Amino acid sequence: MNEQNLQQNAEKRKRVFSAIKPTGNPTLGNYLGAMKYWGDMGKDCDTLFAVADLHAITVAIEPKELRENSKRLFALLIAVGIDPERDVVFLQSHVTAHAELSWLLNNYTMFGEASRMTQFKDKSKKNPDNINVGLFDYPVLMAADILLYQADIVPVGEDQLQHVELCRTIANRFNNRYTPTFTVPVGKIPTYGARIHSLSDPTAKMGKSEGEGDGSIFILDTPDAIMRKFKRAVTDCDTEIKASESKPGITNLLTIYAAENDITIEQAEREFQNCSYADFKKRVGEATVETLRPIREKYEKLRADDNALCELMKMGAQKAAYLARKTLDKVYKKIGFVRV
C-alpha cells in the first residue's frame, strides 16, 4: 500500500469519543452491555475514552471517594481491553482545555436551550438541597468534551441524546458565526450489547450503587460473592428454563449466559433444557466468574503499581491535551483573543 492510499485510509477512520463518570461501581450489566466491546472499537476507529471526573462533582462526593473511583475506573477501562498505547484513555481533569472550552461555549449556548435539558430537572428533584450551577451547566461541559476532539461519533445512552443534540446546536452556531471549526458529532445508542437486569428484581436495571446488594454483580466482585448472588437470583415458580415476558428472572439469566458465551438465547435454552433451577443458576454463576476473572486479575495487577498507573494516566493526558490544544487554539483565534 503506497503513501497516498495510507493517507486516504487514515482519513476514512471515524473518531469516537466516550466519557464515563467515576461514580458508582461498574457492573456485569455495564460490561456485557458496552464495556466488553470498547477494546475492539480502536481497530476501526480512532477512539478516546475519558474518565469524566469533572462531571462527577455536580453532586456531593468526598475527595477520597472521587480519587478512588477515578483510579478504579481508569484501571478498569484498560482491564476490559482498551489499549493505552493505541487508544487515548485519560482523566478529564488532567486536560485543562475541557474547562477552558466549556466557559467559551457558555457564550454560544442560549439559556432557554440549557434550561430544557430533562436531566437537570430530574437530578434537581433528586437533590433539592444541591441544585448548583455546575449541574445546570453539565451539558455545556459535555459539549466541550466532545468538540475538543473533533469527534464524529459519540456512543451514549438514550438519556444523553438530548445533550448531544445541544452539542450539535452549539457547534453549528459557532461554525456559522465564524468559519467551520468543530466537527458536528452524531450521537449513537449502541445496539451491540446485552441488556442486563437486576438479579433480585429482573424488571429493573442492574444498578452501580453499592447499596444494590444482591441484585448487582460488580465487575470486581470476588468469585464467592458472585456465586452467592446468583444462588439468590429471582426465578419463578415454574420449572421450565425458557425466555419469555412472563419469566423475566429466567430470561435475564439466559441473557447473561448467552452474552458471556457469545451464543443466542435459543442456544442457551437448549443447553439448559433438562437442568434444574439450582444447577442453572450455579452454571450461570460459574460462567460469570470465568468471564470476569481475567478482568479482575488485570485490574489488580494495574492497581498494585500506583506509579505505573499514574504514568499511563500521564501518557493518555499528553495525547489528549495535544489534540485538545489544537482545537482550543483555533477557537481562541477565531473569537478574537490576542495570541502571543
pLDDT digits over 208-236, tens only? 775 557 899 999 999 999 999 999 999 98
pLDDT for 2: 46
pLDDT at residue 86, rounded to an integer: 96
Q: Is the pTM of this model over 0.85?
A: yes
pLDDT in the model for residue 170: 98
Q: Are residues 165 and 224 in the same domain?
A: no
Whether 12 has a pLDDT exceeding 90, the answer reads no
In a shared domain, residues 83 and 119: yes
Encode 269-280 in three state secondary structure.
Answer: HHHCCCCCHHHH
- Compute the average pLDDT of residues 41-45: 92
Cα–Cα–Cα angle for 150, 46, 185, rounded to 5 degrees = 35
Q: How many domains does the chain have?
A: 2
264 shares its domain with 140: no
CATH number of 284's domain: 1.10.240.10
Angle (nearest 5°) at CA 59 between 84 and 323: 30
CA 36/CA 192 separation, integer angstroms: 10
Say how many C-beta atoms besides its own lie within 10 A of residue 312's C-beta. Answer: 18
**230 & 106 share domain:** no
Q: What are the CA-CA distances from residue 119 to residues 6, 69, 153, 162, 168 (Å)?
A: 43, 22, 21, 9, 17
Give catalytic status of residue 208 as yes or no. yes
Residue 192 pLDDT = 81
Residue written as cell 472499537? 41
Active-site entry in 21, 36, 71, 123? 123
| Co-location of 99 and 223 in the same domain | no
Judgement on whether residues 178 and 327 belong to the same structural domain of the protein = yes
Beta pairing class for 88-91 and 186-188:
unpaired
Q: Stretch 99-110: mean pLDDT, rounded?
A: 97
Residue 151 lies in a domain: yes
Please check the confidence at residue 329 and state whether its pLDDT lies above 90: yes
> What mean pLDDT is predicted for residues 226-255?
93
Based on the domain organization, do 33 and 104 belong to the same domain?
yes
Of 6-15, 94-103, 183-192, 200-209, give the lowest mean pLDDT range: 6-15
Looking at the fold, whether 136 and 99 belong to one and the same domain comes out as: yes
Tally of CB atoms within 10 A around 317:
21
Query: What are the pLDDT digits (tens) for 146-176?
Result: 999 999 999 988 888 999 999 999 999 999 9
Which position among 205, 242, 298, 334 bears the catalytic label? 205
pLDDT of residue 56: 95
| Structural domain containing residue 245 | 210-301
Residue whose C-alpha is closest to residue 88's, from 150, 141, 31: 150
Distant-in-sequence, close-in-space partners of 136: CB < 8 Å, separation ≥ 6: 114, 115, 120
Same domain, 242 and 265: yes
Specify if 198 maps to a domain: no
Over the chain, what is the mean pLDDT? 92
To the query of whether residue 205 is one of the catalytic residues in this protein, the response is: yes
Which residue is catalytic, options 14, 208, 282, 334?
208
- Reading phi first (left if > 0) and then psi (alpha if -120 to 50, else beta), residue 252 is in alpha
